[in-house]
Amino acid sequence: MREEFYRHIAHTSDSPIGLEIDHAEGTYIYTTDGRKYIDFISGIAVSSLGHRHPAVIKAIHEQADKHLHVMVYGEFIQQAQSQFAALLASQLPAHLDRVYFVNSGTEANEGALKLAKKHTGRTRLFAFKNSYHGDTHGSLSVTGRDVYRVPYLPLLPDVHFFDFNHDEILEAIDETVAAVILEPIQGEGGIIPAQTEWLQKVRNRCTEMGALLIYDEIQSGFGRTGSLFAFQQYGIEPDILTMAKAMGGGLPIGGFAASSAIFEAFKHHPPLNHVTTFGGHPLSCAAGHAALKVLLDEQLMLQAPHIEKMIRESLSGLTGVKDIRGKGAMIGLELDSTERTHHLVMNSMSDGLILGWTLHSNTLVRLAPPLNIESQTLDEALRIMKKNLKSFKGL
């Protein structure tokens, strides 16, 4: 398996992590050499219920016994899709009453951008520096990191970037702007939460000018920050909400929600002007429906503040820890040097703990454990982190 991986899989770095996976269960990943690892990043905020949650596995088996793909999205009535959409809509503001299912987060953002342009008849898109919305061309066009964008220029025209949490954008939003897209908590940008007063100003200005406000909750959604979606803690609602990652309980799915009135734009001039073959795949919808039911029935999002409290109490004040930021179980640990960060991540992995990082950041460690992580496992993970923070001797 290792030989095939290094010979035939197209890699995106020169040094893949290279753990050879045998199986995964709950909070743990098991490798073929007999080791087990605490997954403290949940596959980058995907496995919020841990790996192979019994309710999700049961739903997958039951759906597989019925049917897999039968028709392109939105034409046949499929129970798995309809039930998932209804449950999801019941948890959202009344105006977000329809969901368009896709396969991934970047596809959700692509669809949201198209919908905003079609609905408003406008072309200008506003986004933020240090944002991250995906790697396909449209999503990349509104991603505020030159390290991603420059190799693929030219991208979409009429995209403009502003400083996050700064008022300079307000006057710029006018009747020519189709949409403002933002993450309520910037993920790859360093786990930076939006400021409530600023977010309200952006919301008000968009409403005044007829521009749509898009929230990208691909990483922050499905309980990770202490509520089903992070925006619910702000009380400031979007016109379009994009989601993915933890949405499918471990299977690939994404979606974007908006009002029936906004979605009318996809029906006409021409009909079927935004389609997907595999979006809303019945297996993924069945898994997503089961995962959402578990999240709601067990109120697992309420575990996120406890996880945050434990992380902050355990790691605050340790040598080399410059900042701990974020909300709930979406935490960024800012360290004082690249060397200390590398030491912590690599030595923790040697000790059986998988930590994460944000792309192209040398000093920020991403923490995103499963919401149902056991107390003793959380304690063990934090013990390993403290040990390796303290053992760093510098250069």
One domain, residues 315 and 291: no
User: CA 287 → CA 54, 96, 103, 153, 247, distances in Å?
Assistant: 10, 22, 13, 37, 9
Q: What angle do CA 215, 46, 22 make, to 5 degrees?
A: 165
**In-domain check, residue 215:** yes
Please say if the pLDDT value at position 61 is more than 80. yes
One domain, residues 40 and 77: no
pTM of the model: 0.96
Q: Tokens 């996120």 belong to which residue?
A: 304
One domain, residues 328 and 291: no
One domain, residues 156 and 215: yes
Please say if the pLDDT value at position 360 is more than 80. no
Q: Read off the pLDDT of each residue in 123-135 and give the average, rounded to a whole number.
A: 97
One domain, residues 268 and 309: no
One domain, residues 78 and 101: yes
CATH number where 284 lies: 3.40.640.10
Residue 124, token pair as written in the block: 């200008």
DSSP reduced 3-state for 363? coil
pLDDT attached to residue 395: 57
pLDDT band at 379 (very low <50, low <70, confident <90, very high): very high
pLDDT digits (tens, 9 = 90+) for 156-193: 999 999 999 999 999 999 999 999 999 999 998 889 99
One domain, residues 106 and 220: yes
Q: Read off the pLDDT of each residue in 230-250 and give the average, rounded to a whole number.
A: 98
Nearest-angstrom CA–CA distance, 228 and 296:
9
One domain, residues 119 and 262: yes
**In-domain check, residue 169:** yes
One domain, residues 86 and 49: no
One domain, residues 213 and 117: yes
Q: Read off the pLDDT of each residue in 341-347 and give the average, rounded to a whole number.
A: 95
**In-domain check, residue 193:** yes
Of 241, 264, 297, the position where a domain reaches its end is: 297
**In-domain check, residue 148:** yes
**In-domain check, residue 395:** no
Please say if the pLDDT value at position 277 is more than 70. yes
Residue 254, token pair as written in the block: 């994404």
CATH number where 31 lies: 3.90.1150.10
Nearest-angstrom CA–CA distance, 109 and 3:
36
Q: Give 216's Cβ-side CA count (13 Å radius).
A: 30
The length of the chain is 395
Domain count, the chain: 2
One domain, residues 313 and 194: no
User: Which 8-state DSSP code applies to residue 248?
Assistant: G
Range of the structural domain that residue 215 is part of: 55-297
Of 269, 297, 325, the position where a domain reaches its end is: 297
DSSP reduced 3-state for 322? strand
One domain, residues 232 and 86: yes
**In-domain check, residue 233:** yes
Of 258, 279, 297, the position where a domain reaches its end is: 297
